[in-house]
Structure 1
Amino acid sequence: MNRRKRQRVKESTGKQLLEQLKGIDWRAQKAKVQSTLGSLRLRYLELPSLHQKLIPAIAVLLIVLLVIPTPDPEATPAQPAPTQRVELDIDTRGLSEQGSTVVSASSPNEQVWTEYVIQDGDTLAKVFRSNDLSVSDLNALVKIEGIDKPLSRIRKGQLIRFKLDANDQLDILQLERGSEAVMFFRLSDGGFGRSK
């Protein structure tokens, strides 16, 4: 019973719309549009030639911008998989504050720090080769060393400390720079990060 009433309402609305459309004087509407377009054309022709050329270009640009789809603000961006965090014991004091004593390993998994003092003519590549460190690790470190270039500007007497992981790969590298120390450490994805 409700369905029939709804259909009747729709039919009566459609009939009213048709009657309103039949009541419109289309010839008068056409004449109004033509007169408006004619006055706009006259105003357009009065504009400077540069403006006459720019108006169609801007109109095309607006149409293109309206047609290009915009990103949905409600759509959530794809989030990368969370990285696994590994807790590291990092001594943030400068090397001069720490002294030159190396703490012995308290457990079999914990490795000791190895210290090396830069000699005259040493390069970082030479230091890595003499301590059996991977050159690919050196390349990865140089890529992230930053604007101050602490790895590229080592000098005689500078202290370098490094620590190997359980697989004898470079885990942490620390450079003394005056009263500060710069530290590079291995990330869980195998790359390196830098402190400060």
Structure 2
Amino acid sequence: MEAVMKEKILALLNTIKQCYSTKVHPRLCPIVASLSVWHRRALAIALLIIIIGLLLPGPTPKPDVTLHHIDPPAMLTEESDSQGVWHRYSVAEGETLAQLFRDHGLPTESLYAMVSVQGNDKPLSTLSAGQQVKIRMTLQGDVTGLTLENTQGQVLFVRQKDGRFLRVQ
């Protein structure tokens, strides 16, 4: 398999070399020969900068922070709302949130999406034994929200319509 791939790459390189030597080089050589040494160097540097610029990644898209519907924190004491049913979990000694999700069959992709927006205080990474975690789920088993109490107060994560999570508090 590797030998076949290597042969294809070598064939592609040979084709490029033939195309350059028969079509590009004869036309480019007289133009470059008429330039001074300094102009050739500047042209080579400019070409390298253009190639590097094309290979660099573009700007990262800004996240959509439009809030469509979020239940106020006062409603979190109810067991269900318009976006799902709240389930309470108690954190065991030494247990991480990832272990809690795995042990209860919850989708870990949702947890990882929340961790990516949790902020510098990292409330999802600093759990203590006996701490209560409430997770809102739809009937299909999708996580639509998570709340927990920590030393700074209540932390709430809500799923947006596009599937990403937003930390509200």
Report the TM-score when normalising by structure 1: 0.47
Shift of 1:179: 6.7
Question: Which structure's residues are more often strand, by fraction?
Answer: 2
Match among 53, 69, 73 for residue 87 of structure 1: 69
Residue 180 of structure 1: CA displacement?
1.4
Q: Percent identity?
A: 31
Query: What amino acid is the match of 2:131?
Result: Q
Deviation at 1:184, TM superposition (A): 0.6
Matched, 1:155 2:128: yes
The residue matched to 2:110 in structure 1 has which SS?
helix
1:147–1:173 distance in 2 versus 1, CA, 3 Å: same
Deviation at 1:112, TM superposition (A): 2.3
Alignment TM-score, normalising by the size of structure 2:
0.54
What SS does structure 2 have at the residue aligned with 1:155?
Answer: coil
Moved over 4 A (4+): 82-85
Please say if residues 185 and 194 of structure 1, whose CA atoms lie closer than 8 Å, have aligned partners that are also in contact: yes
Task: Give a deviation string over 1:138-170, Cα, whole Å, max 9, x none.
Answer: 111111111000001111121100111243200
Per the TM alignment, residue 186 of structure 1 is displaced from its structure 2 partner at its CA by: 0.3
Q: Distance in 1 between matches of 2:65 and 2:155?
A: 24
Aligned-residue CA RMSD (Å): 2.8
**Matched residue SS, 1:151:** coil
Based on CA coordinates, which of the two structures has the bigger radius of gyration?
1
2:145 is matched with 172
Q: Are 2:100 and 1:127 equivalent residues in the alignment?
A: yes
SS class of match (2:73): coil
Aligned twin of 1:192: 165
Unpaired runs of 5+ residues, structure 2, are 1-61
